[in-house]
Amino acid sequence: MIEDFQLISPGKVRVRYAPSPTGPLHIGSARTALFNFLFSQKYKGTFILRIEDTDKERSKKEYEEDIINSLKWLGIIWQEGPDIGGKYGPYRQSERVDIYKKYIKKLLDEDKIYPCFCSKDELESFRQYQMSIGKAPIYSGKCRNLSKEEVKKKMEKGIPFVLRFKTPLNEKIVFKDLLRGKIIFSTDEIGDFVIAKDFETPLYNFAAIIDDYEMRISHVIRGEDHISNTPKQILLQKALGIEPPLYLHIPLILGPDRSKLSKRHGTKSVLEYKKEGFLSEAVINFLALLGWHPKEEKEIFSLNYLINEFSIEGIQKGGAVFNKEKMIWLNGYYIRKSPLEKIANLAIPYLVDAKLIKAEKIDDFPSNEFLILETGKKVNFDFIKNIISIHQERIKILSEIPNLVDYFFKQKITIDKDLLIWKDASELEIKDCLIKVKKIIENIPEINFNRENLEKILSEESLKIGKGDRGKVLWPLRVALSGKKASAGPFDIATILGKEEILKRIEEAIKILS
């Protein structure tokens, strides 16, 4: 849709992400925020965070905090918002009642809205009836033509009411979606919808268009579930004489059953993924991958790359299934590519949580000392760094680190006797090998105990074994040191554990074998 791009003038773009703080930020909303952010930055515009907390019962301050923290963690930053203010604030709908009141009054004075006294039950049964006869379930219009006296009487009686919009009959509402082209709705399927609960409590459709207008929003980028809200909003804009923004409805993120992603699918909030051990780079990359692609064939992208390359043409029209496997793969990729120092820092809280170590202070890890809880030994950051270094390419999610590395923090590891046996070697053979290895290591002077020497000394010739028999030595040695079916290599482990500790572990293994 080339012509639409003429409507985007760099520097004039103002977009908003407008969540309602009724739950933690989940992955689908995060992508909407991301696309808004990317679009705004790409066109050197402004990204605005607006909190839509008109629903007083469900909105919670803690969720607003969760949303803010999630976005910050992801690196999605706004230029105007509730926490930093801006020219068009306030940025919380609950603080904008005076503005809404003004517009409600205007519509009331112009006779474009009216109070409706129908009860919820009444409404519900009429809805059911309409559906049953194959009609769109819309409001009957019962209270639309109440006389002024009737309204006055009902008000005085204190009958609860809401405010409905007088939707014109039999009109076509046409709007252009930047991604999907022309979309047409008939007003007959809309009916007189509710715009406010009372004279100062607007509902979503109303509050949103007022704020978009007042905040000079140029493009509304939101999920495709809002397509059918758009004609209502356009109707209100017309009634108010407001110029509508440009609309762009992005596809939804789907669960494995292809329905709109929700908690029901077991997906977590952004911060829960953080806790599980995902890197923000991986989450961003994954979110972008789900429904957008660059011009080139590429699937690894940084936030900066995305800002530069983002384009509407690259957005997919159909919904995308959330595929955690791929997010995990991306996460592993970013962990491998990250500086060791960074991963070591991130690893520490997990080690602490797993009760493997205790950190002296909860910040500034590199200058910290750590207590190994089981052994009572004190170690420094380098020790942790070394351990992470030999595991970095094996880590896919940060939370699996304790299980991967726990043998470095144990007083005594448990070794399964059968596991010590390499392929079809005999128990005796393995025992001999370990004894031989032990003697060799015992003879290494402490000063020469390093990885390079170990590898040289345990080479084929010094052990007088053939290449095919390396496993007979290295496998049981590795098991003796780690106790695990899969672990880092024996030389790596030995170097970190030190001469004394590995001799102890080898001895233990020898004892098990008869």
**Annotated catalytic residue within 135, 153, 263, 378:** 263
Using CB under 7 A as the binding rule, whether residue 194 contacts RNA is answered as yes
Q: Is 454 in contact with 478 (CB distance < 8 Å)?
A: no
Interface with RNA in residues 234-273 (CB under 7 A)? 251-252, 254, 257-260
Residue 495 exposure: Cα atoms within 13 Å on the Cβ side? 18
234 vs 252, beta carbon nearer RNA = 252
Using CB under 7 A as the binding rule, whether residue 86 contacts RNA is answered as no
45 vs 291, beta carbon nearer RNA = 291
The pair of three-digit structure tokens given for residue 281, joined into one six-digit string = 């780079």
351 vs 421, beta carbon nearer RNA = 421
Backbone region of residue 136 per phi and psi (left: phi > 0; alpha: psi in -120 to 50; beta: other values): beta
CB of 303 to RNA, least distance (A): 18
Interface with RNA in residues 360-379 (CB under 7 A)? none
Using CB under 7 A as the binding rule, whether residue 83 contacts RNA is answered as no
Using CB under 7 A as the binding rule, whether residue 32 contacts RNA is answered as no
Of the residues 8, 12, 22, 501, which one makes contact with RNA according to CB under 7 A: 22
Distance between CA 210 and CA 65 in Å, rounded? 24
Q: Among this protein's residues, is 263 annotated catalytic? A: yes
Of the residues 313, 364, 442, 452, which one makes contact with RNA according to CB under 7 A: 313
28 vs 45, beta carbon nearer RNA = 28
209 vs 254, beta carbon nearer RNA = 254
Using CB under 7 A as the binding rule, whether residue 204 contacts RNA is answered as yes
The pair of three-digit structure tokens given for residue 390, joined into one six-digit string = 């030999």
Q: Give first-to-last CA distance, the chain, whole Å.
A: 77
Q: Is 97 in contact with 294 (CB distance < 8 Å)?
A: no
295 vs 361, beta carbon nearer RNA = 295
Interface with RNA in residues 468-497 (CB under 7 A)? 470-471, 474-475, 478, 485-491
- The set of long-range contacts for 389-394, using a CB threshold of 8 Å and a minimum separation of 24, is 389/340, 389/344, 390/488, 390/489, 390/492, 390/493, 390/496, 391/488, 392/335, 392/336, 392/338, 392/340, 392/343, 393/336, 394/488
The pair of three-digit structure tokens given for residue 309, joined into one six-digit string = 């390359």
Of the residues 319, 334, 356, 505, which one makes contact with RNA according to CB under 7 A: 319
Using CB under 7 A as the binding rule, whether residue 28 contacts RNA is answered as no
The pair of three-digit structure tokens given for residue 84, joined into one six-digit string = 């930093």
DSSP 426-469: -HHHHHHHHHHHHHHHHTS-GGG-SHHHHHHHTSHHHHT--GGG
Interface with RNA in residues 407-446 (CB under 7 A)? 422
Interface with RNA in residues 121-180 (CB under 7 A)? 123, 127, 131, 134-138, 160, 162, 180
Radius of gyration of the chain (CA): 32
Which residues belong to the active site?
263
